[in-house]
Structure 1
Amino acid sequence: MESAMKFELPDELNAKEPPERRGLRRDYVKMMVLDKTTGQTNHTQFYQLDRFLKKGDLLVLNASRTVPAVLKSIKEQDGTEVEVRLAHRKNDSIWEALPVSGSVKKDDVIRFSPTLTATIIEQSDHTPFVTLAFNLCCSSLFNQIYDLGEPVRYEYIEEPWNLDYYQTVFATIPGSVEMPSAGRAFSWELLFRLQKKGVKIAYITLHTGLSYLLDDKWHKGPDKNFENYEVPKETAELILETKHAGGRIIAVGTTVVRTLETVAIEKGMLQEASGWTNLYITENTKLQVCDGLITGMHEPEASHLQLLSAFVDREKLYNAYTDAIHQRYLWHEFGDMNLIL
Structure 2
Amino acid sequence: MNIEDFDFDLPEELIAQTPLKERTASRLLVLDRQTKEVDHKHFTDIKDYLKKGDCLVLNDTKVLPARLYGIKEDTGAKVEILLLNQCEEDTWEILAKPAKKIKIGTTLVFGEGKLRATCTDIKEHGGRILEFYYTGIFYEVLDELGEMPLPPYIKEQLPEKERYQTVFAREEGSAAAPTAGLHFTKELLEEIEEMGVTIAFITLHVGLGTFRPVSVENIDDHEMHSEFYHMSTETADILNQTKKSNGRIISVGTTSTRTLETIARDQGAFKETSGWTDIFIYPPYDFKAIDGLITNFHLPKSTLIMLVSALVDKETILHAYKEAVQERYRFFSFGDAMLIL
TM-score normalized by the length of structure 2: 0.90
Q: In the aligned structure 2, how far is the partner of 1:148 from the partner of 1:172?
A: 20
Q: Which deviates more, 78-87 or 331-340? A: 78-87
Instruction: Report the Cα offset of residue 238 of structure 1.
Output: 0.5
Question: 2:44 aligned with 1:43, yes or no?
Answer: no
Instruction: Report the Cα offset of residue 213 of structure 1.
Output: 7.7
Instruction: Report the Cα offset of residue 164 of structure 1.
Output: 1.6
Q: Is the 8 A contact 1:89 1:96 kept in 2?
A: yes
- Aligned match of 2:23 in 26, 31, 37? 26
- Aligned match of 1:211 in 205, 209, 212? 209
Q: 1:150-189 maps to which residues of 2 (within 5 A)?
A: 150-153=147-150, 154-189=152-187
Q: In the aligned structure 2, how far is the partner of 1:259 from the partner of 1:216?
A: 21
Q: 1:309 to 1:105 in 2, by over 3 A?
A: same
Q: Which deviates more, 295-304 or 92-101? A: 92-101
Q: Is the 8 A contact 2:240 2:269 kept in 1?
A: no
Q: Partner amino acid for 1:149? A: G
Q: 1:1-341 maps to which residues of 2 (within 5 A)?
A: 2-4=2-4, 5-20=6-21, 25-101=22-98, 103-113=101-111, 114-124=113-123, 126-135=124-133, 140-153=137-150, 154-211=152-209, 223-341=223-341
SS at match of 2:305: helix
SS at match of 1:293: strand
Q: In the aligned structure 2, how far is the partner of 1:170 from the partner of 1:258?
A: 19
Q: Is the 8 A contact 2:58 2:181 kept in 1?
A: yes
Q: In the aligned structure 1, how far is the partner of 2:56 from the partner of 2:87?
A: 28
Q: Is the 8 A contact 1:222 1:278 kept in 2?
A: no
1:174-215 deviations in Å (ceiling 9; x for gaps) = 211111111000011110111011010010111111237899
Q: Is the 8 A contact 1:177 1:210 kept in 2?
A: yes
Q: Is the 8 A contact 1:64 1:172 kept in 2?
A: yes
Q: In the aligned structure 2, how far is the partner of 1:87 from the partner of 1:187?
A: 28
Q: 1:136 to 1:290 in 2, by over 3 A?
A: farther
Ranges in structure 1 where 5+ consecutive residues have no aligned partner? none
Q: Partner amino acid for 2:96? A: P
Q: Partner amino acid for 1:122? A: D
Q: Partner amino acid for 2:308? A: L
Q: Partner amino acid for 1:195? A: E
Q: 1:245 to 1:214 in 2, by over 3 A?
A: closer
Q: Is the 8 A contact 1:88 1:210 kept in 2?
A: no
Instruction: Report the Cα offset of residue 136 of structure 1.
Output: 5.8
Q: Is the 8 A contact 1:73 1:110 kept in 2?
A: yes
TM-score normalized by the length of structure 1: 0.90
Q: Is the 8 A contact 2:166 2:184 kept in 1?
A: yes
Instruction: Report the Cα offset of residue 13 of structure 1.
Output: 0.6
Q: In the aligned structure 2, how far is the partner of 1:267 from the partner of 1:52?
A: 30
SS at match of 2:246: coil
1:196-244 deviations in Å (ceiling 9; x for gaps) = 1101001011111123789999xxx973422111111101111110011
Q: 1:82 to 1:31 in 2, by over 3 A?
A: same
Q: 1:333 to 1:118 in 2, by over 3 A?
A: same
Q: Partner amino acid for 2:121? A: E
Q: 1:252 to 1:317 in 2, by over 3 A?
A: same
Q: In the aligned structure 1, how far is the partner of 2:302 from the partner of 2:275?
A: 25
1:142-168 deviations in Å (ceiling 9; x for gaps) = 111111011123344323432121111
SS at match of 1:281: coil
Q: 1:207 to 1:321 in 2, by over 3 A?
A: same
Q: Is the 8 A contact 2:148 2:164 kept in 1?
A: yes
Q: Partner amino acid for 1:174? A: E
Aligned sequence identity (%): 38
Q: 1:215 to 1:274 in 2, by over 3 A?
A: closer
Q: 1:176 to 1:199 in 2, by over 3 A?
A: same
Q: Partner amino acid for 2:189? A: L
Q: Partner amino acid for 1:116? A: L
Q: 1:224 to 1:283 in 2, by over 3 A?
A: closer
- Number of aligned residue pairs: give it: 332
Instruction: Report the Cα offset of residue 277 of structure 1.
Output: 1.5
1:22-70 deviations in Å (ceiling 9; x for gaps) = xxx2112100011122211111011111100111000000111111111
Instruction: Report the Cα offset of residue 2 of structure 1.
Output: 4.3
SS at match of 2:229: strand
